[in-house]
Amino acid sequence: MRQEINKFFQIQDRHTLFQHKPYIIAEAGVNHEGSMELAKRLIDEAAEGGADAIKFQTYKADKIASKDSPAYWDLSKEPTPTQHALFQKYDKFWKTEFQELKMYCDSAGIAFLSTPFDLDSAYFLNDLVEVFKVSSSDITNKPFIEHICRYGKPIILSTGASDLSEIQTAKSWIDEYNPPLALLHCVLNYPTKDEDAHLGKIKTLEVEFPNNIIGYSDHTLPKDMQTLLAAALLGARIIEKHFTHDKTLPGNDHYHAMDVVDLKKFCRMLDSTWRLLGQFEIEALPNEELSRQHARRSLVAKRNILEGHVITSEDLTWKRPGHGISPKDIELVIGKRASKQIYEDYILTWSMFD
């Protein structure tokens, strides 16, 4: 059963929220490379792998970047020298295509998301998504953030390459409209080295923004998926990672993305880890009842006690099992009168006293 993102935003208590496994977003981005067939394959594989949602990106090169927009990625992996040129390669999908992908996601049983990068894409995506995702690159884009807020839907905001004051400022703009808000720790570097992941920022975001859901958007190489598991255990309730059908493909976001094998592995790790976490309420478990009875202590006669003797602390010790009077009640026993003879090493019960 896949999780519904809106339910995450409805949980007010962070402790209760942590009892749920993270909401997993497979970030397909534009790894479909303009092929509807490939986009649908990504949806199928994300659903098969166990993701709760698959997310695309919606933009037109002319609206997102000027002609003079330098690359900020590893040019040995993606040699396109400008952002505008790169975006032109992958901006073929628009309203009709995303409507088709939304319908396909519905049939595949996985939530559809797409990050808008301009006003027009936000307008038509509003009919297709339950939650808006705002990219790290737009965290200082006040008019765009305010435009997204006016739709009245929950917002997921990535915080890559931001300092605390910038996050606080963006949050203040959003708070004016009061939509539910999740903040994702993110490092805006492709790929992100493990030593640069700085997952500790997840805990800092929890402290600084106690009333918001905190998550993680990952750009490290997938490898053993331990980065994502660590993020989940640190409190990330939404985990987003780039997703591809083939990690060996050159260019764009394939080389630091997970594939369906990685996704399945991560979901298995989450399942086994959350089984270990178990319940969060502090109470004795049914399978501990025998231990409660046999491994705990009872008050025991330290020496022979004559009938009529008034009990003192020198008469008492405590030993296993816990079938008799608990040592927590020792003050209630001291001063009582023995109603019968009690022999050394007998477990004390209330019937032995007047």
CATH code of the domain containing 11: 3.20.20.70
Q: CA dihedral defined by 259, 263, 269, 273, rounded to 10 degrees?
A: 140
* Per-residue pLDDT at 12: 81
Same domain for 328 and 251, yes or no, is no
Provide the pLDDT for residue 77: 77
Residue 282 resides in a domain: no
Looking at 277, 295, 328, the residue that finishes a domain is: 277
- The pairing of beta strand 316-319 with beta strand 298-301: antiparallel
Q: Residue 39's pLDDT is what?
A: 98
Which residue numbers in the chain have pLDDT < 70?
A: 252
Q: What is the pLDDT of residue 67?
A: 87
Q: What is the pLDDT of residue 114?
A: 98
Q: What's the maximum distance between 2 C-alpha atoms anywhere in the chain?
A: 101
Q: Is residue 333 part of a domain?
A: yes
The region that residue 29 occupies, defined by phi over 0 for left and psi between -120 and 50 for alpha, beta otherwise, is left
Does any domain span residue 17?
Answer: yes
Predicted local distance difference test score (pLDDT) of residue 141: 98
Query: Are residues 296 and 271 located together in one domain of the fold?
Result: no
- Is residue 118 one of the residues assigned to a domain? yes
State whether 340 and 223 are in the same domain.
Answer: no
- ∠ CA 38-232-12, nearest 5°, is 105
The end-to-end CA distance of the chain, in Å, is 60
* Alpha-carbon Rg for the chain in angstroms: 30
- Which of 159, 189, 222 lies closest to 71, judged by CA? 189
Residues 203, 127 within the same domain: yes
